[in-house]
Structure 1
Amino acid sequence: MIPAGPAPADGIFRAEHMLRFFCTRLPSIMLIRRIPSSRRVFSALRPVRRKARDVIRAVRRSGAIPAFWRVVDARLIGPDGEPARGRMPEMMPPPRLLAWWKLALDARGIPWMTDGHSANARLFVPALYERMARTELYAVTEESRHGPPLPLPLKHNLHWTLAVLLLFLLWQGFVSGWWLLPDSAGRGFAALQNRAELWRNMGALDVARVIRNHEYWRCITALTLHADAQHFFGNLLFGGLLLGLAARRMGLGLALLLAVLAGTLGNAANALYRPPSHVSLGFSTAVFSLAGIIGADSALREGLTHGGWRKVLLPPGAALALLAMLGTGGERTDYAAHIFGLAAGTGLGLIAGYILRERGVPRPALQILPGLIALLLPLLAWLAAFRI
């Protein structure tokens, strides 16, 4: 005996059973009657599985990726304008090839973003640039497969390098008194300008003060001082040339930071090597460290990639030749500082070259942080020298 109940509830109960029947049993019965073989079943379900895979990929993207951006690392466009199916696996390429892809997109002015890590990473571009990006990446991939490795793309940052050199020139003019600041700049700055002896006494690499008084900031401040105009403009000429070459290879911010760090390490090693009476100053330690950075980076990222010991040993040999021609002559030349600077630059260049070889050159936006650190290190060192 069924208990009596209100009619609307009974109707809802029957509608629920009918809905379950149409959603579960009826589709399977129709599928069995209409598709007689298992091969047709799998062929019919293959597009569904592909669509489900694409949906999963779309859902997995983080909130930082705009919704209208498309993934371009799964299927590339061939030279005929059609999708190059079967030529590229549906996964991200190795880190080296991915770095080439990013540089190729940067060269064409195509914005891109990556999401995820390692094998789960994806490369996205705006929908309007999708076909252009796929065509460009296909060309880079095919050339890296069938031809010799592509030359290292260079950064177009010469204007920023000149701005850094101009800033260095303004600093040297302030220290040496080439131009005077207005009275509105303050009494403190007015007292420090045109006081070259004061600056040298406070910031030169005095080995006795570094070792005995633990004035380690002198390893950095000595890089920003020069004996005279000839000394300064010689370092500015060769240092600006080497800084520009390094900045085009690895970015200005990273190149400047490596130069400051290698120059500081070179001065520290020179202070340990020299007697207590030794005093030196100048940016030449960082200049030869730039030569070591470029030589080590070229040997690691281009020599090993192209193959052959000749291409591996040629860049460091060129750096040593530059040291022999410019870093060992003259009575006032501190050859030990140049040698230590070249050695420190070579070591940091090997580390940086290995990282850049695996992960690629940082984007221009990421070059700001190392550039600011490179400019803040001398400033903090001078603040420590004057106990401000």
Structure 2
Amino acid sequence: MEGEGGEKGRHALGEALGRLGRRLFPRREAQRDITGEVFEDGAPGVPEARAREWALVLSARGVPHGLSRDGALWRIRVPVRHAAQAVEEIRAYIRENRADETGASRLPRPIPARGVAWVMAGLCLLFVFLISDPVVFGKRLNFTRMGAGDTGAMLFSGQWWRAVTALTLHADMAHLVGNVAVGGLFMAFLCREAGVGTGFFLALAAGAAGNSLKAVVQGPGHHFLGASTAVFGALGVLGGLRTLCGMRGLSLRQAAPFAAGLMLLALLGAGDEEGGDKIDLAGHFFGFAAGMLLGVADGALKARKRRPDGPAVDRALGGAAMLAVLLSWVSAWYGWSWR
């Protein structure tokens, strides 16, 4: 009897130790890489943002999973017995979030820092050259006098090119550095949404439209210069794009980018005009308003897929922006009238 009881005790102890061992050192289930199964494209990996987004979906649905990095891309693995469920959960999430035609969900795009930095560096060199009154062929050129904003000349002499040339002129280095610093920040976020060429084209268009509106509304007798109108135009375009792009209906969420833009306009809108203490709120406001209208229009066309898109279009619009600045300065050089 004693031997039988001891045998049972040892058996029970063995089972308890076995259960404890299985809990402490669980047997690894066979894992399956489902990264290329979601879109059935055999993709070797996805960006980190998308992988983590999918991981959150699986966590919310209670599906065990794991992430692994493979170079610049990420993979997501699940136990084999959960593979079908995991793929279907991710696909359902993508469908619910109105995936585009390729099945890729809308994720934040990376900021094109290098492209924006190169363009801003080129613009900075141009701005410095224009305010330095350089000597060309023995003659000192005063570009500020040649191309500064003058509402009277715009209205009565047809010199509407001043709406563009004034954007490239500054009162001094402090004025220039301030516009470049704030403008670079706004342009980085705008170019993430629209592309580098398209972003600078829209900012230039908004700045020129804002200066033109300033001339029409305020009438003759006003002088202005500086890129701040285009800077706040970029802010308006960004607000307009974020308000409409990819969203439907009217909601507080839609109005958030617009409200954020107005708040930034109120906080940063006070600036110098021609280096004095005069605040050019009119130029900032008109630039922001023109940019908002352009952003809303571009966002609406994008949402309805009525505007051509892609790298070629982006480069073309960037080239158009450069051509517009060049044509405006040629007009300033020869004193042409745009009537």
1:144 maps to which of 81, 94, 104: 94
Residues 38 and 90 in structure 2, CA contact (< 8 A), matched pair in contact too = no
The equivalent of 1:20 in structure 2 is: none
Gaps in structure 2 of 5+ consecutive residues: 1-32, 41-45, 51-86, 100-104
The equivalent of 1:350 in structure 2 is: 296
TM-score (norm: length of structure 2): 0.66
- Which SS does the other structure have where 1:374 is aligned? helix
- Cα distance, 1:362–1:202 mapped onto 2, change above 3 Å: same
- Cα distance, 1:142–1:366 mapped onto 2, change above 3 Å: farther
Q: Distance in 2 between matches of 1:158 and 1:334?
A: 30
- Please tell me whether residue 285 in structure 1 is matched to residue 229 in structure 2: yes
- Please tell me whether residue 241 in structure 1 is matched to residue 185 in structure 2: yes
Q: Distance in 1 between matches of 2:227 and 2:114?
A: 21
Residues 251 and 362 in structure 1, CA contact (< 8 A), matched pair in contact too = no
- Cα distance, 1:79–1:164 mapped onto 2, change above 3 Å: same
The equivalent of 2:126 in structure 1 is: 171
1:212 Cα offset (Å): 1.1
Letter in 1 for 2:95: R
Corresponding pairs, count: 252
Gaps in structure 1 of 5+ consecutive residues: 1-77, 86-103, 109-136
Q: Distance in 1 between matches of 2:88 and 2:36?
A: 11
- Please tell me whether residue 253 in structure 1 is matched to residue 219 in structure 2: no
- Please tell me whether residue 326 in structure 1 is matched to residue 295 in structure 2: no
- Which SS does the other structure have where 2:139 is aligned? helix
TM-score (norm: length of structure 1): 0.58
Residues 131 and 169 in structure 2, CA contact (< 8 A), matched pair in contact too = no
- Cα distance, 1:139–1:205 mapped onto 2, change above 3 Å: farther
Q: Distance in 1 between matches of 2:39 and 2:328?
A: 57
1:161 maps to which of 104, 116, 121: 116
- Cα deviation code 1:69-124 (max 9, x no counterpart): xxxxxxxxx94977999xxxxxxxxxxxxxxxxxx89x99xxxxxxxxxxxxxxxx
- Cα deviation code 1:332-362 (max 9, x no counterpart): 2211111111110010001111122233883
Residues 243 and 256 in structure 1, CA contact (< 8 A), matched pair in contact too = yes
- Cα distance, 1:79–1:221 mapped onto 2, change above 3 Å: same
1:365 Cα offset (Å): 3.3
Output aligned runs, 1:46-85, within 5 Å. Answer: 79=34
- Cα distance, 1:142–1:333 mapped onto 2, change above 3 Å: same
- Cα distance, 1:358–1:234 mapped onto 2, change above 3 Å: same
- Cα distance, 1:83–1:154 mapped onto 2, change above 3 Å: closer
Larger radius of gyration: 1
1:158 Cα offset (Å): 1.4
- Which SS does the other structure have where 2:245 is aligned? helix
Q: Distance in 2 between matches of 1:228 and 1:257?
A: 25
Q: Distance in 2 between matches of 1:357 and 1:212?
A: 40
Letter in 2 for 1:154: R
Residues 252 and 371 in structure 1, CA contact (< 8 A), matched pair in contact too = yes
- Cα distance, 1:139–1:340 mapped onto 2, change above 3 Å: farther
- Cα deviation code 1:176-217 (max 9, x no counterpart): 229x79xxxx62xx635xx4xx21111111111111111111
Q: Distance in 2 between matches of 1:214 and 1:269?
A: 14
2:312 maps to which of 347, 365, 368: 365
The equivalent of 1:191 in structure 2 is: 139
- Please tell me whether residue 315 in structure 1 is matched to residue 257 in structure 2: yes
1:329 Cα offset (Å): 5.9
Q: Distance in 2 between matches of 1:342 and 1:80?
A: 43
What's the C-alpha RMSD, in Å, of the aligned pairs? 3.3
Q: Distance in 2 between matches of 1:253 and 1:138?
A: 39
Residues 256 and 371 in structure 1, CA contact (< 8 A), matched pair in contact too = yes
Q: Whose helix proportion is higher, 1 or 2?
A: 1
1:243 Cα offset (Å): 0.6
Residues 250 and 361 in structure 1, CA contact (< 8 A), matched pair in contact too = no
Letter in 2 for 1:284: S
1:160 Cα offset (Å): 1.0
- Which SS does the other structure have where 1:384 is aligned? helix
The equivalent of 2:152 in structure 1 is: 208
Q: Distance in 1 between matches of 2:132 and 2:268?
A: 28
Q: Distance in 2 between matches of 1:324 and 1:346?
A: 15
